[in-house]
Amino acid sequence: MTDTNVRRPRGGVVAINHDWRATVDEALHTARIAAYGPDEFVGQESFMRAGDIVRLAEHAGIGPDTSVLDLCCGVAGPGLLIARKSGCTYHGVDASGSAVRIARSRAGTLNCRFDVARVPPLPSGRYDVVLLLETLLAFPDKPTLLRHVADALPMGGRFVFTLEEGEPLTPAERTAMPDADTVWLIPLSAMLSELEEAGLRVITRADCTRSHRAVAERLHAEFVADAKNISDRIGSDALESLLTAHRRWIDWLGGGRVRKFVFITERTA
């Protein structure tokens, strides 16, 4: 559920003299800082605050001796924060080459590496922790993904993720949501069954619906306030797509259509 999931303008709507992902990142930067606050914005493209990310990593037992695989890492705002705070060995993977280029440029001397790849499959090898933050909803085939995640973990390894819980979108909802092909909701009961089937035992489950809705509201408000600057950089169509998606999430999270959870699970079988 990233807030850079906006459509690239067509037909020369806006002049782009370098990478589109970097253009969007730069265009939204001022609004994001205002929405999160300087201490809570660390380059994330989601509704998680920096404090939430750090606490989640601590609860997942991520430390200097931990190997971490971050799936769909994007520009790796959360991943680099975790690596910097914990001293872990970090491996980020994302399908977007432009996002990975940005992540690499921001990693500095941290013990990090990045690969451009679609998942599944996952990179070979075993990891103490697999992260999947704010992007599980982009996978229509969650059972296959979970099996690959479990295979990447040793016994006792942790899978840490966020979940958008709800019934699948109706045809009308898919029509109204920009980039609906990345929005595949799943009921909580079904997700719990899939985790059990994959041999992943739930250690921690927390409802973060209210806090994520509050962040979505602040982001929407700041995007509106900075609309002229954003539109000049990415185009009015892309801005409208961004605002529409945020309005949908605000309505869904506020009205009970969707609930947000954070999970820490452990491989047991």
Is 255 within the bounds of a domain?
Answer: yes
Q: Cα 139 to chain center, whole Å? A: 12
Look at the chain and report how many structural domains it folds into: 1
Mean of pLDDT values over 24-51: 94
Is 64 within the bounds of a domain?
Answer: yes
Query: What is the pTM (predicted TM-score) of this model?
Result: 0.92
Query: For residue 6, what pLDDT is reported?
Result: 58
Using CA atoms, how far residue 112 sits from 46, 82, 206, 221, in Å, is 21, 11, 29, 34
Q: Which domain holds residue 223?
A: 20-267
Categorise residue 108: left if φ over 0, alpha if ψ from -120 to 50, beta otherwise: left
3-state secondary structure of 108: coil
DSSP state for residue 8 in the 8-state scheme: P
To the nearest whole number, what is the mean pLDDT of the chain? 93
Q: Read off the CATH number of the domain in which 120 is found.
A: 3.40.50.150
Best CA proximity match to 120, nearest among 99, 95, 85:
95
Is 86 within the bounds of a domain?
Answer: yes
DSSP state for residue 153 in the 8-state scheme: S
Is 9 within the bounds of a domain?
Answer: no
Over residues 141-177, the pLDDT tens digits come to 999 999 999 999 999 999 999 999 999 999 999 999 9
Is 94 within the bounds of a domain?
Answer: yes
Is 180 within the bounds of a domain?
Answer: yes
Over residues 83-140, the pLDDT tens digits come to 999 999 999 999 999 999 999 999 999 999 999 999 999 999 999 999 999 999 999 9
Is 204 within the bounds of a domain?
Answer: yes
Q: Is the distance from CB of 249 to CB of 240 less than 8 angstroms?
A: no
Is 2 within the bounds of a domain?
Answer: no
